Amino acid sequence: MKITKTTHSKLANTDFDNLSFGKSFSDHMFTANFKDGEWHNEEIIPYGPISVNPSTHVFHYGQAIFEGMKAYKNKEGKILLFRPLDNLKRLNTSAERLCMPTIDEDLFMSGLTELLRVDSDWIPNSDEKSLYIRPFMIADSEYIRATPSSSYRFMIITSPTASYYKGETKLKIEEKFARSVEGGTGFAKAAGNYAAAFAPTKHAQNDGYTQVIWTDAKNHEYIEESGTMNIMFRINDTLITPKLSESILGGITRDSVLAIAKQKGIDVEERKISVKEIVEAHKNNTLKEAFGVGTAVTLNPIDKITFRDLDIHIEKQTPNSYGQLLKKELLSIQYGKTEDIFGWTMEL
Ligand SMILES: *Cc1c(COP(=O)(O)O)cnc(C)c1O
C-alpha cells in the first residue's frame, strides 16, 4: 500500500487533556476509490481536504454511509481493536441497502491496520481515552442524474477522544417524528438517517431535553432507540431491550452488553417494549434502571424520561447497578484489562 507521510504532524499541538468529541483528527487518512466494478488506489495520505466537483453525486442524493469504532491501548502499549469485523459486516449491510459497493475484509483490515500503525502515537495511553475511528463511503460520480453513482470513495479518518461526563440525560418520548420506518433505512448506518433526526432532536433540546426516545413510526407505541444509541431497561431484575428490526440499528455495544449480561447470569429479554409498559413499571416501582449504549460513550445512564405530562425519574446508578457493572466489564475487555472470553479484541 502506498503511504505518504505528513511533513507537518499536528500531534504536538493537540491537547489530549481537552478533547471534545470529533473535533481533532490524526495526521493521516486511508482512501480508496471504486470504479469499473472494483476498488483501486488504496493509499494512506496526510489528513486534509479532498477536491470534488459540485455535481458530485453524494451532495445531491445522499448516498453516504459510515461506521464508528475505537482503537485502545492496553497497559503494555499494545493496540487493541474491538470487534472490527462486525463493523465491516454492518458497513456492508448499509452499503447493500444504499445500493453501494461492498468492501472485502482484506481492503478494510489492511487500510485500518496500516492507518493505525502510521498514526499509533495518536492512540492515547490511558484507560479513559481512545482513538475514535470513522470509516465512511460516499458516492462520487460527477453527474446529477437520479440513479446510483457508478463510482465511490471509501475513507477512514480517526479522532482521539476521551470519556467525559455528559451531564444529566433527560429524554423525551417522541410521538410526532420518526427516525426510521419499517422498510426504510433505519437498520443501516446511513448519513441521511442522522440528517432526518436533527430537527426533531433540536425541537426537544429547545424544550430542555437532551435527546429523544424514538418510537415506532406507525403508532408511536413501542420504544426503539435513544437518540443515536440503543436503549436498555432494568425492570425488576431483568434487562430488557427492544428486539432488532428493520427500524432499529443493531449496535455492537448493544450486542456486547447483552452477551456480558448473560454471561453474568442476568436475565435478558430482547422483545418489544411499549411506552405503556415503561410507564406502568415506573408506577409500580419496578423500573430500576435505564441506559443508552453505543460506541461513543459506551453506556450512558438515563436520569429522566418524559412521556407527555409524566416525568419518570430514574435513580442514580450505584456500583451494584447493572449499568455500572456492565460498563466496567465492557471497558475492561476493550482496554485489555480482563481476559476476553468472547474473542472480541484483536491485537494489532
Ligand atoms: C451507531 C448507532 C448505534 C450504536 O451502535 P454501536 O455499534 O454500538 O456504536 C445505535 N443507534 C444508531 C441509530 C446508530 O447510528
Each residue's pLDDT expressed in tens, for the chain with a length of 348 residues: 999 999 999 999 999 999 888 899 999 999 999 999 999 999 999 999 999 999 999 999 999 999 999 999 999 999 999 999 999 999 999 999 999 999 999 999 999 999 999 999 999 999 999 999 999 999 999 999 999 999 999 999 999 999 866 789 999 999 999 999 999 999 999 999 999 999 999 999 999 999 999 999 999 999 999 999 999 999 999 999 999 999 999 999 999 999 999 999 999 999 999 999 999 999 999 999 999 999 999 999 999 999 999 999 999 888 889 999 999 999 999 999 999 999 999 999
Identify which of 268, 277, 331, 275 has the alpha carbon closest to the alpha carbon of residue 299: 331
d(CA 342, CA 83): 10
pTM for this prediction: 0.97
Q: How far is the CA of 89 from the centre of ligand 1 (A)?
A: 14
* CATH 3.30.470.10 intervals, the chain: 2-161
In angstroms, the CA 103 to CA 33 distance is 11
In this structure, which topology does domain 170-334 adopt according to CATH? D-amino Acid Aminotransferase; Chain A, domain 2 (3.20.10)
Q: Return the amino acid letter for 250.
A: G
Residues with CB under 6 A from ligand 1: 68, 189, 225, 228-230, 249, 251-254, 294-295
**Which residue's CA is minimally distant from atom 5 of ligand 1?**
251
How many C-beta neighbours within 10 Å does residue 113 have? Answer: 17
164 CA from centroid of ligand 1 (Å): 18
Q: How far away, in angstroms, is 230 Cα from ligand 1 center?
A: 7
DSSP state of 187: T
Distance between Cα 20 and ligand 1 center (Å): 19
State phi, psi for 74 to the nearest 5 degrees.
-85, -175
Which among 68, 18, 58, 25 is positioned nearest to 228, based on CA atoms? 68
Q: Residue 64 has what pLDDT?
A: 98
Which residues, 6+ apart, have CB-to-CB distance to 303 below 8 Å?
168, 169, 170, 313, 314, 316
pLDDT of residue 319: 82
238 exposure class (CB count in 10 Å sphere: 0-12, 13-18, 19+)? middle
Determine the distance separating the centroid of ligand 1 and the alpha carbon of 292, expressed in angstroms.
10
Residues of the chain with CATH 3.20.10.10: 170-334
The ligand 1 atom nearest the CA atom of 186: 13
Task: Name the residue with the closest Cα to ligand 1, atom 6.
Answer: 251
C-alpha to C-alpha distance for 66 and 294, rounded to whole angstroms: 14
List the one residue out of 298, 301, 320, 347 whose CA is nearest residue 82.
347
Which of 58, 77, 81, 50 lies closest to 68 in space, CA to CA? 81
pLDDT at residue 159, as a whole number: 98
- The residue behind cell 469504532 is 69
> What's the CATH code, domain 2-161?
3.30.470.10
Which residue has cell 425519574?
313
If one counts every other C-beta atom within 10 angstroms of the C-beta of residue 245, the result is 15
Collapsed DSSP state (helix, strand, coil) of residue 88: helix
Count Cβ neighbours within 10 Å for each residue of 250-279 and write b for 16 or more, e otherwise: bbbbbbbbbebbeeeebebeeeebebebbb
68 CA distance to ligand 1 middle (Å): 8
- The closest residue, in CA terms, to atom 13 on ligand 1 is 228
Closest atom of ligand 1 relative to the 69 alpha carbon: 9
